[in-house]
Chains A and B, each alone.
Chain A
Amino acid sequence: MFKLTFSLLALSLTALPLHAAPSARQIMQQSLDVNDGSSRYSQARMMSCAFVIKKGKRKCRSKPRLKLTESLGKDVGAEGKDSLSLSLILKPSSEKGMAFLQKDYDDTEKDSEQWMYLPAMKKLKRIVSETDDGPKTGTLFGSELAYEDIEKHHISDSTYALLEENLSYGKRTVWKIKATPTEKFAPKTSYGHSVVWIDQQHYLPLKIELYNRQGKLAKTLLQQKIQQIDGIWIAKRMQIINHSNQRMSLMVTDKLALNMDVPDGLLESRALKDSNYRETQMKALRMLAK
């Protein structure tokens, strides 16, 4: 249930060398394997609002809801393919101090492990979801970004077709690929298919269109402000447009640090509860972030 933050960034990071005339599946595989560093720290603002379209631009209809969050992630396991991530809410004040910890496994048979801490009740809870019959239904901090959208994707979940090979997208050249879920995976996703614009230089998806089962455009994900930090390509701005309810969210990464040492204790459930310990450790990491 609490599939959180950093799988999102897993979608967005870094470059691999280019091969000649790769297949759609190969391109996707490389995009999934993009190097996003072995650990990351970030501070992000998440804004969400209902939009109206004015002069070819989407505009918030009212003041967007703002969440300020802090996240910490680290690759673990034998091959570094499992991951641990910690997320903290800084704002709004009524939710300040709420903390989430998640452990994801590369092995599809293994369920994620999740913990949640509620400071107002001083309660630490392990969250277990055994209802595994449909798409992950949660959304990230109440935004338009569903857990399903940022979940760790496996290449075998879909079949791929290369729609366009040398498409210009803004100033970039991209591949346009259509991904259709396999029959086995279909019940686990709410989408009928998706179309992905993948940058030919750094393999980051620049745009993803998610279509519902009736073939109508349900959501558009845009990755913007792509920068190279410590040799790793990363999008610092991500926009999610939900066409089916006319709301949109924007996630802006304000501070970021990659490949730093993260003490193991910080990614354990007791770090959720022990704010003194956590704050001391986080302080050092915050200093590194730019």
Chain B
Amino acid sequence: MALNALQFINRLLMKTSDGMAKIPDFTRQHRKKALLSLLLLTVFFAAGIPRIKLDMSMEAFFRDDDPTLHNFNIFHHLFGSDQVLMLMFQPQDGDVFSNDSLNKVKALEEDLNQQRLKADTPLNRITRVRSIYSADFLEASDDALISRKFIGPDGLPLTAAESDALRQLAMQQRDFPGQLFSRNSKLGILMIQTDYGARLKIANEQTETLSAAENDSGFEDDFSAPDTASNSGLALTAAELPEFERVEMEEYSVFMSAFNDVLARHHWQHQLNNPDADATQYLAVGNPWIMDLFFSVVMQEMGLISLLSILLIIIVLYFVVGSLAGTVWPTTLIITGIVWTLGIVGWSGVAVNMMINITVFLILTVGIAASIHILSVFKQMSEAGLEEHEALTETLRKTGLPIMLAALTTMAGMLSMSVIPIAPIKAFALFASVGVFVTFWLTVIYLPTLMEIWSPIKRNAEGKTTQKKRDLYLQRFLSWTDYCGRTYPKTIIATFVIVSAVSLMGLPKVYIDTNLMTLIKPGVGMSEAISAIDGNFGGSSNAEILIDSGRADGIKDPQLLRAMQSLQEKIIAGEPELVTRVDSIVKLAKESYKNLLDGKESNYRIPDSQEVLAQTLFSFESADPATRKLFVDDEWQVARMTIQVKTRGSRDYEQFNKNLQGWIDDSFAQIQQQNPNFKAGITGSIPLMMEMMSYVSKAQINSYLLVIAVIAVLLLVIFGSLRFGVMAMIPNLFPILVLLGVTGWLGIALDTDTLLVMPLAIGIAVDDSIHFLTHYRTELLRGKKSEEAIHSALTHVGQAMIYTSVVLSLGFLIFVFSVHQGLTNFGILSAIAMFSALLADLFLLPAMIHLFKPFENQKHLTTEAA
């Protein structure tokens, strides 16, 4: 059976090789039709590109039933947006409380407050502006509660003594120092609350049908209690939640640009933009700012760097190929491949995200590799004295099959990633494999045709070609590698084993982490702002806990508030490095109670009686429902606890989340026992983002294991033998081991960006070994001895392998210049992956064949089959 299968595969492969060899003749006969169809199809696909739907939202990464995401939707529904733009400012005179500083804050705030009322500015996203200037202040006496602005337009200090008095008073307020101004009062904070993520999508049709119904005087909405009460609080299902408007990433940019105009008007300048001596300096954080940074800095830069990278690849390609035609044609076909693939994305209507960029680089990788192999063999054939069309036929006979097999394995690898249940990865996997196929097809079909129109080989008067000096050196080097493999196979294998072992030892140090602080390199204001705000104001991020009492008015319960208080104490005591403040209705209840009694600090506590608590909270709600809405929902069923945290990586947050869950379970154990409807859950945009990153990274790693497995099985089938398959797989595992070793030993965190290297690494490594082994096997089939076959494979395929690796690694190394650390890592690691793959294919693979002689038996079989 095995024999028959093997024979079948061998025949199939031989037939494929012969079929490939016919392509140049075929396209020559139908050249006009071929070129016309290329043009028409390209126009058709190009028309699809504008239809590409980008979905950059974080939500796209989650399954609809993800609990953190679901809690976050409930959070938006109950409490509105959590997106705050935080501006840390440093007045020019170094004193937040000086008349001059406060006047500047006042002017800016008044301007922003005017802007946010307008209908036609993106700044109407702002719901509230808060600073020490506009902070509210409650004065309590025995018979009156007076709420006023702490400073406000009438309270500006005129003299230094008044400024000092104001500072003294501000320092005594519970929530002012460390939140609105730094304790040394040199820095201030402007909090700009927005409604991002919380604007409801109002179904217009429904509103209209109802309005029409109101005209009927019999119309009345139904206020009776429903027969079957639907869910409430955290038990709400996705279907019961209203739909929110989606925020496109560019909206943040439009917002920030309008915001920056206002800042410029008031002579507020970013600390890193060489501010004038008399300017108020600032640093900013918060989701709107970060999204803008990504959209207008990182993404634009990424476009530029990608372009530079492609340009560099073309230039290096020209140098290694040594002819203009040999550069122009592959480039044309690769660009065509990109156009076709993007066109297919557009016409398919499937939403994609930034991962589609990687598809472009994958197409580049596959296209460059295939073209270089074709060009290289074509050159060798021409040098061997073959006529042009003969040379083309023989080139395709030799390279067509390995190119196809390489494309097939890469495609299969990509396709196997599509089992991941994360929509953007699924789409990426699908379109990446489409891209690989399209590029393979274009290169194999059209490169020969185009090469006949304008040949990359210059022939002299007698029709001969000359070998270049560089190629001679390369051939000498390849002969040397062959010599090494033959003479010192054990030493070579031992070296690779040692390198692999050292890499493996780094494996435990490998970690998955995404950290906003290190994601972007210093210099653009991200890490600077985060460390300044973390240092002076106790945290630039926040996590949220939702506490659902399970019934309306359930929050007005002293026992529950005491449990919440104990949770807050546990959080602060348990994470003193990470957490500085926790806000909730507990603080408001204590403050209101104190003020209703006599304003004395000794009464800053949760009232014991349920009735007193209910009345205290009622009076608070009547007075300040806007603040109440920040902490308790309209039914008084769900409370929110906001934990201000310092910015850390997803790994730290993951641990923090675990601790948090433990404290939640502890604090509410008794309440949970008495009340089965009680629930508590963690949410917030930072935990969500961190969870997303770690979720995606883990899925990526799992999918790569699957990719490797699928490719291994495929190699096994292609080469029809277990030994061959294993032999082919080992050099492909080496670059992956090296990558893991490098990231482990150098402490580079694996994040979603870094992990994108893996498919590229696997793709290029598999390509190289398939080219090598196919050539080797063909030589075996022709009756050559193993040693001769290895020599032939190295000298014929080795050159193309080296060129491909040089061209692509130099191209990817350009990403080192990105402000985005992830892209920088991507560039460095891609280059490392390609070079280690090259080394494994040039040294390890031949050495292994020499030492283990795994194909002695097969040689016998294959000869028979032939």
Contact = CB atoms under 8 A, between A and B. Distances in A.
A232 interface: no
Given A56-B209, A58-B222, A116-B619, A246 B229 contact: no
Contact of A130 (B114, B146, B202, B222): B146
Interface string B196-209: 00001010001101
Nearest to A141: B622
Contacts of B230: 52, 61-62
A57 B215 CA distance: 13
Contacts of B206: 53
Contacts of A127: 144-145, 147, 623
Interface string A209-228: 00001111100001010000
Interface in A127-167: 127-131, 133, 137-139, 141-142
B856 interface: no
B174 interface: no
Interface string A183-202: 00011000010000000000
A124 B615 CA distance: 12
B119 A62 contact: no
A60 B225 contact: yes
Q: Chain B interface secondary structure, helix, strand, loop or mixed?
A: mixed
Interface string B207-244: 10110011111001111111001101000000010100
Interface string A35-63: 00000000000011111110011111111
A62 B226 contact: yes
Scoring B114, B117, B618, B622 by chain A CB atoms within 10 A of each residue's CB, the highest score goes to B622
Contact of B556 (A94, A98, A222): A94
A250 interface: yes
13 contacts: A51-B221, A56-B210, A56-B213, A58-B221, A62-B229, A92-B553, A95-B614, A130-B148, A130-B149, A171-B217, A214-B124, A239-B221, A245-B77
Contacts of B114: 187
By Cβ-Cβ distance, the 6 closest A-B pairs, closest first, are A130-B148, A170-B217, A94-B614, A58-B221, A63-B225, A126-B144
B206 to A, nearest CB: 5
Contacts of B229: 61-63
A6 interface: no
A62 B222 contact: no
A258 interface: no
A243 B199 CA distance: 11
Interface string B250-276: 000000000000000000000000000
Interface in B140-177: 143-149, 152
B147 A129 contact: yes
A183 B221 CA distance: 36
Interface string A62-84: 11110000000000000000000
B248 interface: no
Contacts of B113: 133, 187
Nearest to B153: A133
A3 B702 CA distance: 61
B596 interface: yes
B675 interface: no
Interface in B33-73: none
A60 B224 contact: yes
Contacts of A123: 596-597
A251 to B, nearest CB: 11
B338 to A, nearest CB: 39
B387 interface: no
Contacts of B220: 224
Contacts of B552: 62-63, 65
Given A56-B210, A243-B202, A61 B240 contact: yes
Interface string B607-647: 00111101110110111111000000011000000000000
B148 A138 contact: no
B118 interface: yes
B136 interface: yes
Interface residues of A, number: 68
Contact of B635 (A47, A59, A65, A121): A65
A2 interface: yes
B200 A246 contact: yes
Interface string B111-132: 0011011110000100000000
Nearest to A45: B223
A207 interface: yes
Nearest to A143: B634
B149 A59 contact: no
Contacts of A170: 214-217
A120 interface: yes
A38 B249 CA distance: 57
Contacts of B609: 120
A169 interface: yes
A250 B223 contact: yes
A170 B621 CA distance: 37
The interface size bin for chain B is 35 or more
Interface of B: 77, 113-114, 116-119, 124, 134, 136, 143-149, 152, 200, 202, 206-207, 209-210, 213-217, 220-226, 229-230, 232, 240, 242, 552-553, 556, 596-597, 609-612, 614-616, 618-619, 621-626, 634-635
A119 B210 contact: no
B624 A137 contact: yes
Given A52-B230, A58-B221, A244 B200 contact: yes
A192 B119 CA distance: 8
A215 B207 contact: no
B117 A187 contact: yes
A174 B113 CA distance: 36
A62 B610 CA distance: 24
B540 to A, nearest CB: 27
Contact of A186 (B117, B242, B556, B626): B117
A118 B616 contact: yes
B118 A213 contact: yes
A1 interface: yes
A169 B596 contact: no
Contact of A98 (B116, B147, B618, B626): B618
Given A60-B226, A98-B615, A1 B213 contact: no
B202 A216 contact: yes
A63 B222 CA distance: 11
B619 A126 contact: no
Given A61-B226, A222-B214, A128 B611 contact: no
Contact of A57 (B144, B221, B242): B221
Contacts of A116: 619, 622
A127 B141 CA distance: 11
Nearest to A252: B223
A80 B134 CA distance: 37
Contact of B148 (A119, A121, A131, A141): A131
B223 A64 contact: yes
Scoring B214, B556, B610 by chain A CB atoms within 10 A of each residue's CB, the highest score goes to B214
A94 B615 contact: yes
A58 B206 CA distance: 10
A142 B621 contact: yes
Contacts of A47: 223
A247 interface: yes
Given A65-B553, A130-B147, 16 more contacts: A49-B223, A53-B210, A60-B225, A60-B226, A62-B229, A62-B230, A64-B225, A65-B635, A118-B615, A121-B597, A121-B616, A123-B596, A128-B146, A138-B623, A213-B117, A246-B200
Contacts of B124: 213-214
Interface in A71-114: 92, 94-95, 98, 100
Nearest to B224: A60
A119 B616 CA distance: 11
A64 B148 CA distance: 35
Interface string A1-19: 1100000000000000000
A235 interface: no
Contacts of B148: 128-131
A207 B217 CA distance: 12
A125 B635 contact: no
